[in-house]
């Protein structure tokens, strides 16, 4: 009997593909929760500038989550236009630095989003049987 040609993906490529899928899935999750991350950070820190936000996320997640700056700034501009954030420009070391801060509406929106996220994660935990511990 004629032997069929093996078209399966070699192991080393399969690993790359799984790794790529994991990174992409992670990026998709981060993209979906980017505004919530930004709002929460601003709630706890008071005011922050763009670069500081990326560094804070890196620090909190021990370099596991890297915010893409290309997605961060449009999110900040969107939240500012919605009236969730307010900005203040200040001169620091001879250059202009733009600080973002939550507005009163933004504080309410953050509290609502955090509640929604917590409820969502609890439901996911129940459905998928994950062993997560969420602190309130």
Partner 1 sequence: MRTLSSEQKEQLTNHIAKKPIKYIGLYNELYDHYASTYEIGENDFENTLEALDQEFDYYKVKSINDNLVDKTRKSVNQIYVEEFKNFWRWPQIMTTLGILFLCYSFIEFLPMKIIVWYVFMPFLIFTSAILIYGGILTKRKKYGNKRFESAHLASAHHFLSLPVTLFNLTVFLPALFLEPYKPRIEFYENYPLIAFILMMIFFIAAYIGFKVFKSKIRVQYL
The footprint of partner 1 (CB under 8 A) covers 49-52, 55, 68-70, 73-74, 77-78, 80-83, 87, 89-98
Q: Please identify, using beta-carbon distances, which residue of 28 and 87 lies nearer to partner 1.
A: 87
Q: How far is the CB of 71 from partner 1 (least distance, A)?
A: 9
Question: Which residues partner with 33 through β-bridges?
Answer: none
Q: Please identify, using beta-carbon distances, which residue of 49 and 117 lies nearer to partner 1.
A: 49
Other beta carbons within 10 Å of 79: 22
Residue 10 and residue 90: Cα distance in Å, rounded?
A: 55
Q: Please identify, using beta-carbon distances, which residue of 44 and 89 lies nearer to partner 1.
A: 89
Residue 27 and residue 44: Cα distance in Å, rounded?
A: 24
């Amino acid at each position: 009997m004629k032997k069929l040609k093996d078209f399966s993906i070699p192991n080393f490529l399969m690993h790359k593909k799984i790794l790529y899928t994991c990174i992409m899935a992670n990026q998709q999750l981060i993209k979906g929760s980017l505004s919530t991350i930004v709002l929460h950070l601003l709630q706890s820190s008071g005011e922050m500038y763009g670069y500081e936000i990326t560094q804070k996320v890196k620090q909190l997640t021990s370099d596991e989550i890297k915010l893409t700056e290309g997605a961060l700034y449009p999110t900040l501009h969107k939240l500012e236009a919605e009236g969730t954030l307010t900005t203040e420009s200040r001169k620091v070391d001879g250059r202009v630095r733009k600080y973002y801060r939550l507005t009163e509406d933004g504080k309410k929106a953050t509290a609502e989003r955090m509640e929604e996220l917590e409820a969502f994660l609890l439901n996911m935990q129940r459905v998928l049987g994950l062993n997560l511990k969420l602190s309130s």
